[in-house]
Amino acid sequence: MFGPHAPESPCLVIDLSRVRDNLHALRSALSGLGDRHPTRIRFAVKASPVPEIIRLLAEEGTEFDVASVGEIEQCLALGVDPATLCFGNPIKKAAHIAAAYAAGVRRYAFDTEDDLTRISEYAPGSEVECRFLASTPQSRTPFGTKFGCAPGEAVRLLVRARDLGLVPVGPYFHVGSQQLDPAAWRIGIEQAAAITEALAVKDIPVRAVNIGGGLPISYADPAPELSVPGAVIAETAARHLPEHTDIVVEPGRALVGSAGVIHAEVVNVRIAPDGRRWVYLDIGRYNGMAETENEYIAYRITTLRDGDIADDAVIAGPTCDGDDVLYQRTRVLLPTTLRAGDPVRILDAGAYTASYSSVSFNGFPPLTVHVIGAERE
């Protein structure tokens, strides 16, 4: 991890072999769904739009959740079949729907009648999934009420989709990013099942239930193994959903989070007037560490001086912005011997780091990405 041939700092190093292993582990964790509920894994491109990752997952037979025309164009340029893409962002312009349809995308998510009407006009005959707001426990990085309609409204909108000449596939929910409570999937699937039953009365068979992403990984605090929510998903689907209803899973973090390590460097160490020690890194909130907002995600940090006496430290980024502070409430213990120029490694940083990195805030460049590991076995 440390050595004379380490790449420039800061940068993100992605191990493709770990991405592949994570995909296989996820498939194993969901194997309890069996033939009764065929599983479709749809990678959330926004988590890590690295070309090598997209190519690898396409070869492994995944689908792709795309959030913009830019992500659609990137996937198509990498040879991804447009039939495997779902335009999953419920907030999209008419022009973007038209562009996606022209590119061959025939699957869309929505949560309002306005968006549904635009889809019917600019992507006629397409498959649609209606996102509802499930009453699940709050996740570590919650969406709040930004997305999703009421479950009863989802029934009405999917009926409306049929009447507009679209193909209503079924309900869609998301338990929130980095969801640590496996019961969230039970609650969401039970609510989706009620929607499914209401649609059956309207002669609309649900083809698939999209249970979104949110599968967690361990950071400084542990997360349940994938097998734990996997068992909840399988048991709840078997109990409440009709046989042969597909289960669509949209992992991002679960596939790429543990595959990335950020190589960074200490820029300065300071004792503030209040006596607190501040450690400034060459990476911060605006060039990769956006998920430290509100200190939601507590990354593990290692140094060459681990083993020396450690004490509390405030961790901050390099910009002139006062909000560019990573951790000041979360307790972070770092060696008291740390000095400017010392390398540090931020572990399990493969998700939402390079993709969140700003173009050039304060003149700092976006986070560089290096990919290791064979693309094919």
The CATH number covering residue 335 comes to: 2.40.37.10
Average pLDDT value over all residues in the chain = 96
Stated length of the chain: 377
Residues 237 and 321 in one domain: no
Instruction: Report the pLDDT value the prediction gives residue 376, as an integer from 0 to 100.
Output: 46
Instruction: Report the pLDDT value the prediction gives residue 234, as an integer from 0 to 100.
Output: 98
Percent of the chain residues past pLDDT 90, beyond the cut: 94
C-alpha 67/C-alpha 147 separation (Å) is 13
Q: Which domain holds residue 265?
A: 257-372
Residues 229 and 338 in one domain: no
Residues 31 and 180 in one domain: yes
Residues 65 and 206 in one domain: yes
Instruction: Report the pLDDT value the prediction gives residue 280, as an integer from 0 to 100.
Output: 98
Is the pLDDT assigned to residue 195 strictly greater than 70? yes
Instruction: Report the pLDDT value the prediction gives residue 377, as an integer from 0 to 100.
Output: 42
| Number of domains comprising the chain | 2
C-alpha 30/C-alpha 32 separation (Å) is 5
Residues 165 and 274 in one domain: no
Encoded tokens for 236: 């709840």
Residues 174 and 264 in one domain: no
Greater confidence, 359 or 51?
51
C-alpha 327/C-alpha 52 separation (Å) is 32
Residues 207 and 268 in one domain: no
Catalytic residue among 11, 75, 86, 320: 320
Domain end call among 256, 282, 300: 256
At 70-128, the pLDDT tens digits run: 999 999 999 999 999 999 999 999 999 999 999 999 999 999 999 999 999 999 999 99
Domain end call among 235, 256, 277: 256
Instruction: Report the pLDDT value the prediction gives residue 160, as an integer from 0 to 100.
Output: 98
**Is 193 a member of any domain?**
yes
Residues 283 and 314 in one domain: yes
Residues 27 and 50 in one domain: yes
Q: What is the average pLDDT across 130-150?
A: 94
Percent of the chain residues past pLDDT 70, beyond the cut: 97
Instruction: Report the pLDDT value the prediction gives residue 374, as an integer from 0 to 100.
Output: 66
320 is an active site residue:
yes
**Is 336 a member of any domain?**
yes
Q: How far, CA to CA in Å, does 285 sit from each of 91, 108, 290, 331?
A: 25, 32, 5, 18
Residue 311: name the closest of 281, 280, 338, 341 by CA. 338
Residues 266 and 343 in one domain: yes
Encoded tokens for 42: 């749809």
Residue 12: name the closest of 348, 361, 376 by CA. 348
Residues 191 and 58 in one domain: yes
Domain end call among 200, 232, 256: 256
Three-state DSSP class for residue 76: helix
| pTM exceeds 0.75 for this model | yes
Instruction: Report the pLDDT value the prediction gives residue 2, as an integer from 0 to 100.
Output: 63
Is the pLDDT assigned to residue 375 strictly greater than 70? no
The CATH number covering residue 163 comes to: 3.20.20.10
Q: What is the average pLDDT across 182-188?
A: 98
Residues 85 and 22 in one domain: yes
Q: What is the DSSP string of 60-73?
A: TT-EEEE-SHHHHH
C-alpha 103/C-alpha 72 separation (Å) is 8
At 19-38, the pLDDT tens digits run: 999 999 999 999 999 999 99
φ and ψ of 302, to 5 deg: -120, 155
